[in-house]
Amino acid sequence: AQSVTQLGSHVSVSEGALVLLRCNYSSSVPPYLFWYVQYPNQGLQLLLKYTSAATLVKGINGFEAEFKKSETSFHLTKPSAHMSDAAEYFCAVSGNDMRFGAGTRLTVKP
Amino acid sequence: EAEVAQSPRYKITEKSQAVAFWCDPISGHATLYWYRQILGQGPELLVQFQDESVVDDSQLPKDRFSAERLKGVDSTLKIQPAELGDSAMYLCASSYRGLAGVGEQFFGPGTRLTVL
């Protein structure tokens, strides 16, 4: 069985500050991992994915995530937050199906 | 750019009524998913289709929910009768399962259901 745990349901940063959203996974097989972003009343948009190639994955909008097997983590980072980054972020693990975390709401203060 | 289409975007209904949601996946995507997302939570899979066949409906409340994908293209999710606890966002996603067997899922905009 696979699952993900997102640490922190709400993260608040100042504009220009580092964004760090935490995700830990559990999987009985080598995982495929994803980060999605969701804006209010919209569907989910893929930010990036890890599929066993490079452990540092670069995505859209300046986001990146690093797969660390020893820590079973796949944290999402962005060096400098922008107001438009305010949204809900979901980590997900995939095997035969996709399991999502509960989400982390990112607030960006001016 | 190809997108997953869903309609309606918003639906308000009274409990005990029937509701239906429609999804048109990206052309060529064999796998289609219906998710339910309760406010403040992540999406939870209700049903997964591979072409016209159901491959996973273990979390679908079959006493009131039904889903079909008759021609292996678009799909309908129905709730009858609706209950207050069904208020949620219903998301449709599709994927093209390539050689890796891991299909990136593309999501539609969702249908926001409110049951009064």
Is there a contact between B33 and A32 if contact means CB atoms under 8 Å apart? no
Average pLDDT, chain B: 91
Q: Which residue has tokens 């980054």?
A: A85
pLDDT tens digits, one per residue of A40-70? 888 899 999 998 778 899 999 999 999 999 9
- Measured between CB atoms, does B96 come within 8 Å of chain A? no
How far CA B51 is from CA of A40, B54, B74, B104, in Å, comes to 30, 8, 10, 16
Q: Is A49 on the interface with B (CB under 8 A)?
A: yes
Please state the length of chain A.
Answer: 110
* Contact state of A103 with B42 under an 8 Å Cβ cutoff: yes
List C-alpha distances in Å: A66 to A70, A84, A98, B60.
12, 23, 19, 34
Integer Cα distance of A20 and A51 in angstroms: 21
Q: Do B91 and A98 touch (CB under 8 A)?
A: no
pLDDT tens by residue, B50-88:
899 998 899 999 999 999 998 889 999 999 999 999 999
